[in-house]
Homo-oligomer: A and B are copies of this chain.
Amino acid sequence: MNRTSKQKPLTELEGTALAIMSREGPCTPYLIKEAFRNSPSEYWSGSAGAVYPMMKRLEARKLIASRADETDGRARREFSLTAAGKTAMKAWLLNADRAAGFGFDPLRTRLFFIELMTAEERRTFLGKTREKMQGGPPAPDTDLPHVKPLHTLWSQYRINVLKAFTKKFG
């Protein structure tokens, strides 16, 4: 058993941050923070209090390395992946057990308790939710060819589950 396999596994936040750095090249914690904040998912808050300490942790674990960048008056720090960081990122990314997990869905949770709604509440709830989902957050702005289709596919899938469920139990 080598050293890396003894390391405790990355959290989803940490793994995603490493993946962003791998995609974007050297970047500031601010960019990472904004990437989370701009995510269509409310799960990723992108708060400074979460991101800056996490970067410190990742640096302490030597998965990223920083250098100061003083091209202008602004105090910037740029972080890049170390070799160990890339290995850890790959292990996180390719973790099929994690990937297969259900995660958390606020709609799914509520639909499991649909019997607690009256007929009218049910109608209103399903209608409103569908509206809000159809006018949901826009696809992220990127050049990568798979990102927008994935966003669309996922949004559509959730709307379709809601439609199918409504037909049966609405």
Interface string of A73-97 (1 = CB under 8 A from B): 0000000000000000110011011
Chain A 97-125 interface residues, beta-carbon cutoff 8 Å to B: 97-117, 121, 124-125
Chain A: residues with Cβ within 8 Å of the partner, total of 61
Task: Please give the distance in Å from A115's CB to the nearest CB on chain B.
Answer: 6
Complex Cα gap A40–B93 (Å): 22
Q: List 30 A-B contacts (CB under 8 A).
A: A12-B104, A16-B109, A22-B116, A40-B102, A41-B102, A89-B116, A90-B121, A93-B113, A93-B116, A93-B117, A94-B121, A96-B128, A96-B131, A99-B106, A99-B125, A99-B129, A99-B132, A100-B106, A101-B106, A102-B136, A102-B154, A102-B158, A111-B146, A112-B146, A112-B147, A112-B150, A149-B168, A153-B164, A157-B158, A157-B160
